[in-house]
Structure 1
Amino acid sequence: MRAKTIDRIATYVLTGIAVLIIAVLVGLLGFILTNGWHKLTFDFITSPPDLLKAGGGVGPQLFNSLYLLVLTMLISLPLGLGAGIYMAEYAPNNRITQSIRLCIEVLSSLPSIVVGLFGLLVFVTMTGWGYSLMSGALALTVFNLPLLVRISEDAIRNVPKSQKEASFALGISKWRTVVTVLLPAALPGIVTGAILASGRVFGEAAALLFTAGMSSPDLIFHDFNLDSPTSPLNPFRPAETLAVHIWKVNTEGLTPDARDVADGAAAILVLAVLLFNLGARWFGTWLFKKMTSVTR
C-alpha cells in the first residue's frame, strides 16, 4: 500500500508539473498574441517601418529574419550533421575525441554577446564584409553548431545496433549503412535539433547587433541582382531582423507607436516560429515515411 501511495503521489506531481509547463506556455502565447493581435494586418506585415511617424510595418525585417534563417541552416546543418556522424560512427574513443566533446560543451555555453563580438572581429572586420546577412549567418552558425552536433550524434547513437549489424551482415559498406540505415532512423531526432536551432535563429538579437547590423536598405523586391545593395537576395547587405527591430523600437523610442509596433512584431515573431516548427515537423514526418516506409 505504501508503494502504491508513493506511486500515485509521484504521478500527481509529475502531471501537475506538465500541466504547469503547458499553462505557462499558453499564458505567454496568449499574452503576446492578445497584445499584438490588433497589429496583424496585411499592411503591417508587408510595409517598411517608419521611425518618424506612426503606422509603419515590419515587412523587410520579417523577410530578413526568414532569409537569415535559410542562410544559417544551409551552412550549419551540413556541418553539424557531418560532425555528428563523425563523432558517432568514425571517431575513436580517445583523448582527442574527449577534447572535441569538451570544446563542444564549452562552445555551447558561450553567451550570445560573446559570439557576436567574435563575429564582429572575424566576419565583419577581418573579412571586410561589414554588417551583412552573411556575417550574421556565420555568427549564428557558431552559435548553433554545438547543439546540432550533439543532437545529431545522440540521435545516431540511439539507433538500435541490430539495424546496423543487419546492414553489415548483408555486406553493405559503412558509409552506405550510415546513409541508408542510420540517418533515416535518426531523422526524427535530427529534425528536432534543426527545429531548436531554427528557433534560436528567429529569436536571437544580441549576436546580430554586432554582425548583421541594426538597419536595412530600402529593398526593391523585384531586384534579383545579387550585387545590388537594394536586392533582398544580396547576402552581403546589412539586415535588421525582427528580433533586433523589437529591441531597437523599445530602446530608442523614436516611433510614436513604439509599444504597438513592438507588440505586433512580437506576435508575428511567435507565429512565424510556431508555423515554422509545425511545417518542419510535418516535413520531417513525411521524409521519415518516404525513407523508411514506416507509418507514424
Structure 2
Amino acid sequence: MNEMTRSRKMKRSILYNKSATFGFYALGVLVLLLIFWLLYSILSKGLPGLSLEFLTKLPEDMDIGGGIGPVLFNSFYILFLSLIISIPIGVGAGIYMAEYAPNNKFTEILRICVESLSSVPSIVFGMLGLAIFAEYFQVGLTILGGAVSLAFLNLPMLARVTEEAVRSVPNDMRNASYALGMTKFQCIRTVVLPMAMQGIITGICLVAGRAFGESAVILLTAGLSTSGEMWDFNLLSPGETLAVHLWYVQSEAIVEDARQIADKSAAVLVLVVLLINLLFRIPLWITNRKLKR
C-alpha cells in the first residue's frame, strides 16, 4: 500500500513538474511575442519615413514637413545632465546602505522610505520641480529644472538597485580581501563593485530609459517649447523633449502631417531607448568575455 501511494505521489509530482515547465515556457514565449509585436507595430509605421532631415530639422507649428532636431537634442542633453547628478548620488547611497549603514530601526525606516519613493508617480516629482524652480527660484521652465527633477525621480530606484547588487556579492569574497590586508574601501573598490557592476549597470539602464521616455516631469519643469536653436546648451532655456513633443503632436498639433510626425517620433524614441541599453551593456559583455578566456 505504501509503495502504491509513493508511486502515485511520484507520478503526480512528475505531472506537476511537466505542467509547470510547459506553463513557464508558454508565458515566456507569450511575453516575447508581445514585445516583438509592440516593436513591430511602432517601428513599421515610423522607420520607413525616417531621414536625416527629419532628425535635424526644426519643428513646424503650421506647415508640414517639420522635424525633431531641437527636441531630440534636448532629450539627450537632459538625460546626460540627470545621469551626471543621479549616478554618483544614487550609487553612493546604495553602497552606504549595503556596506556602511548599521542594522537598526533608522536604517530600516530609511530603506522603506527609499522603496516608497521608487513607486511614487512621476508627476509628483514634476510638481516638486515646478515648486522649486518655477515658484521658489523663479527661473521658469528650464532644462536645468527638468534635469534635476529627473535626477530626483531616478535616485530612489538607482539607490535600491545598487544596494541589492552590492548585497548579492558573497561575504566570502569580502573576507578573503580582508585576509589579504585590504581596507574596507579597497575591498569595495576592487572586489565588491566589479562583482556588482552588472546589477548596477542594469539599474542605470532602467533609469536612463525611463528618463529618456519621461514626459510628465519634463512637461511641468522644462516646458512645451524649445529655444528654436538646434544646439542650445543654455541651462535656463526651455527644454521640450522628444517624449513631450510626441504627446503634443499626437494630441494638440494642428499640422496636416501630425500623425506621420508622431509615428516617426515614436520610432526614434523606441530605437534610442534600445540603443541606450545596448551601449551600457557592451562593456559588460566585453569584460565577461575576457574573464571567460
TM-score interval (norm. to shorter): over 0.9
Number of the residue aligned with 2:59: 49
Number of the residue aligned with 2:250: 250
Q: Give the distance between the partners of 2:165 and 2:50, measured in 1 at CA.
A: 38
1:20 and 2:20 matched: no
Number of the residue aligned with 2:97: 87
Contact 2:122–2:217 (CA under 8 A) maintained in structure 1: yes
CA drift at 1:218: 1.7
CA drift at 1:284: 3.3
Number of the residue aligned with 2:269: 269
Number of the residue aligned with 1:226: none
Contact 2:123–2:217 (CA under 8 A) maintained in structure 1: yes
Number of the residue aligned with 1:156: 166
The structure 2 residue matched to 1:131, chosen from 133, 141, 151, is: 141
Amino acid at match of 1:102: I
* Larger displacement relative to structure 2 (244-253 or 191-200): 244-253
CA drift at 1:30: 0.2
Amino acid at match of 1:157: R
Amino acid at match of 1:146: P
Stretches of structure 1 that go unaligned for 5 or more consecutive residues are: 222-231
Number of the residue aligned with 2:291: 294
State the aligned residue count.
283
CA drift at 1:289: 5.1
Contact 2:166–2:193 (CA under 8 A) maintained in structure 1: yes
Contact 1:39–1:261 (CA under 8 A) maintained in structure 2: no
The structure 2 residue matched to 1:192, chosen from 198, 202, 226, is: 202
Q: Give the distance between the partners of 1:203 and 1:31, measured in 2 at CA.
A: 18
The structure 2 residue matched to 1:174, chosen from 184, 190, 193, is: 184
Amino acid at match of 1:127: F
Query: Which of the pair has more CA radius of gyration?
Result: 2
CA drift at 1:295: 3.2
Contact 1:132–1:213 (CA under 8 A) maintained in structure 2: yes
CA drift at 1:142: 1.2
1:282 and 2:292 matched: no
RMSD, aligned α-carbons: 1.5
SS in 2 for 1:294: helix
Q: Give the distance between the partners of 2:186 and 2:57, measured in 1 at CA.
A: 49
Normalised by the length of structure 2, the TM-score is 0.93
Q: Give the distance between the partners of 2:277 and 2:220, measured in 1 at CA.
A: 27
Q: Give the distance between the partners of 2:144 and 2:106, measured in 1 at CA.
A: 31
Contact 1:123–1:138 (CA under 8 A) maintained in structure 2: no
Q: Give the distance between the partners of 2:13 and 2:105, measured in 1 at CA.
A: 45
CA drift at 1:127: 2.4
CA drift at 1:220: 5.0
Contact 2:143–2:237 (CA under 8 A) maintained in structure 1: yes
Q: Give the distance between the partners of 2:264 and 2:211, measured in 1 at CA.
A: 19
Q: Give the distance between the partners of 1:152 and 1:218, measured in 2 at CA.
A: 39
Amino acid at match of 2:203: G
SS in 1 for 2:292: coil
Q: Give the distance between the partners of 2:149 and 2:182, measured in 1 at CA.
A: 39
Q: Give the distance between the partners of 2:283 and 2:212, measured in 1 at CA.
A: 19
SS in 2 for 1:248: helix
Superposed CA offset, 1:28-65 (max 9, x none): 00000111123211111111111111100111111111
Percent identical among aligned pairs is: 45
Number of the residue aligned with 2:3: none
1:33 and 2:43 matched: yes
Number of the residue aligned with 1:99: 109
Q: Give the distance between the partners of 2:59 and 2:182, measured in 1 at CA.
A: 57
Superposed CA offset, 1:144-182 (max 9, x none): 111101100000000011110001011110011111110
SS in 2 for 1:52: coil
Q: Give the distance between the partners of 1:123 and 1:190, measured in 2 at CA.
A: 30
Q: Give the distance between the partners of 1:128 and 1:78, measured in 2 at CA.
A: 27
Number of the residue aligned with 1:7: 17
Structure 1 segment 112-131 matched on structure 2, within 5 A? 112-131=122-141
SS in 2 for 1:145: helix
Contact 1:36–1:260 (CA under 8 A) maintained in structure 2: yes
Stretches of structure 2 that go unaligned for 5 or more consecutive residues are: 1-10
